[in-house]
Structure 1
């Protein structure tokens, strides 16, 4: 059974520390209460108790918390808070009625964390596989500004927009994906069944082959002989890239590369700027100190490259420079954002200007997503054309040469 380390105070105010054995974090907090101690902090002991087979099977069998589950949770949580329901009671009620067993169990553990003295963002931060970075950052902004309900409303709208974005991206990528799958299948068939007979034919004629033909024959022979290594190497390379992206440096580089992808990168940058403007506006309007708001807004962008640039703005602000000046020097923001920041500083209406920036970019992103398929199709058609040209030259060019020589 898992072990949990607790720290709390007795009714006389004395500090107590120790460990308890309990199936879940909620049960551990209840056990501490039964001992006459009000828990301040309860957390699992790393490496204690090992991994139970039933817990492992439960984690494998449970489906992951989806976007629809998070949208439902944020909307219902906001409604309950607006109705005056205490946070812990609201979380336990939502956990009991959650359609996802994993989310229901997690909400119960978050409620136990609140009872042990943690803040809502801290308690939810112990479950990064359930709650995304953006949600945690928005919860933190809401706690700091005292506008948790508005943060949840913004978060629900953001998640809803993300769902719409994913659906449109899937629809735009459906045709190119099918085409690429067909191309890969065709390449396998050509290398295994088509090119080898032609290679035997050309070898029997003892003719000098063009460079393109020799390249195709060499690639086909290598693929037939080492296809296990080819697929195994591709699989291992994919795992290696995924593991590197999971590191801090890898995520920073990958997030920077995503913003440079032709066509798609511009859409992602505008979406991130809209998210930055909306969150920054809410933080400023709520009276959060500027330096503190920078950290929260950086987390809310959910892009390591943009977040690093936003945090670097703090250095100039701490030296007394204006927000527009340090933003212009960073090179992260478009002329529209810089102009709105300058006007906002002059008029004292930074929040209003950022709201206008967010609305403008949100409309642009929505229009660009509708045209996403038209951005991708030229690249797919060009790629197919190049492959067909290489195959045609490699197979038919030597045949044309031999036919000309015979004539």
Structure 2
């Protein structure tokens, strides 16, 4: 038997390369999860203060590495300090950790280094990240209570169908009573749930897996995102969140003298809704042809309301587009803040009403035959 050493070596190298790719991907994923937005906020805020006080960049990074409590982030800052000492541009060093710092930060730092305004740029980055983090935190906080109520409703429903109703059913069987239609439907539903519980669970799991898998399909995923914009209450919230992101990000990037085409391309990547993402990518291409930002936004009336178009036009005419967009961002952020505060008070009564109607219907279906029996006695 002849062994092809060259082929064997190639196969081994390919296998090692595949394993190496997976290992690198896993390490990056693990690294992103271990470093929070609070770490990044702490970093940008304090780095800006240190540079403003006259400390060199490499020394500032070393000091921050010593102060941070996150061991992984400490290693990153030490590596950045080392690269800076070697004469590598700060934005080039940050590219190594793009998944953590993001393209916005890297491009803004690059603009700051070129213009000699790194301190001002870091302040803008800090405000940008801080506002984004606050917005995300408010949305999460607002959704916690409704989610708890929904989970409670599901648990109560499962207990009723699997534990309570079967016991009552056996009681009705002993009495040999003629059951009303509502009670028969309730018992049939309970029997179906009890007898086919495993299949129902598998069906739900398969549905969830298929839904998650469908999100990987670009057309289907885009359809879901488009559909979400038309949802009652939540559709408007999604729009406001994306408009706040758009205004804040574009404003921050323009302030650091990043060209508008690049600004829109970078902004498109952080938009949570794919419809907005596509619109901004198309807008960047249209600007290359000589169109103004205001004229382009007018072509998307469902995504950008008149207030943004009119104020953007005023900003372009006066050369203060960055300031105008900052005002728009603040306006939408305040609106979102108010909505998030009132959202639980809107959703809570609706969920309690649904829960009450469900429990009430079950109670009536159970009490009706009992009442009929007592009347006959």
TM tier, shorter chain?
0.7 to 0.9
TM-score (norm 1): 0.71
The reply on whether 1:123 has 2:67 as its aligned counterpart is no
Query: What is the TM-score normalised by the length of structure 2?
Result: 0.75
CA positional deviation for 1:364? 1.9
Match of 1:362 among 330, 333, 336: 333
Q: Shift of the alpha carbon at 1:190?
A: 1.2
Asked if residue 341 in structure 1 is aligned to residue 308 in structure 2, the reply is: no
Residue equivalent to 1:378: 349
Q: Distance in 1 between the 2:124 and 2:324 partners?
A: 17
| Matched residue, 1:281 | 251
Task: Give the Cα–Cα distance (whole angstroms) in 1 for the partners of residues 322 and 240 of structure 2.
Answer: 18
Against the structure 1 CA distance between its residues 170 and 290, is the aligned structure 2 distance closer, same or farther, given a 3 Å change threshold? closer
Query: Per residue, is there more helix in 1 or in 2?
Result: 2
Cα 1:84–1:247 shift into 2, 3 Å = farther
- Structure 1: 5+ residue stretches without partners: 1-43
Cα gap change, 1:66 to 1:355, in 2 (>3 Å)? closer
User: Aligned pair 1:225/2:192, yes or no?
Assistant: no
Q: 1:370 to 1:90 in 2, by over 3 A?
A: same
Q: C-alpha distance in 2, partners of 1:257/1:378?
A: 25
Cα distance in 2 between the residues matched to 1:295 and 1:239? 32
Partner of 2:258: helix, strand, or coil?
coil
Question: Is residue 128–residue 252 contact of structure 2 (8 Å, CA) maintained in 1?
Answer: no
Pairwise CA distance, 1:337 = 0.2
Superposed counterparts of 1:126-141, under 5 Å: 128=99, 130-131=100-101, 135-141=102-108
Assess if the C-alpha contact under 8 Å between 1:139 and 1:151 holds in 2.
no
Report deviation, 1:111.
5.9
Q: 1:167 to 1:281 in 2, by over 3 A?
A: closer
> 1:245: how far off?
4.2
Q: Which structure features the higher share of strand residues?
A: 1
In the alignment, the residues of structure 1 paired with residue 52 and residue 173 of structure 2 have an alpha-carbon distance, to the nearest angstrom, of 80
> Which is bigger in relative contact order (C-alpha 8 A, separation at least 6)?
2
Are the aligned partners of 1:65 and 1:100 in contact in 2 as well (CA < 8 Å)?
A: yes
Distance 1:180 1:103, change over 3 A: same
Q: Mark the runs of 5 or more structure 2 residues left unpaired by the alignment.
A: 1-15
Cα shift readout 1:168-193 (whole Å, capped 9, x = no counterpart):
44554444344333323322221122
Paired residues, what number? Answer: 353
Q: Are the structure 2 counterparts of residues 48 and 322 from structure 1 closer, same or farther at C-alpha, using a change threshold of 3 Å? A: closer
Determine which of 176, 179, 182 is the counterpart of 2:146. Answer: 176
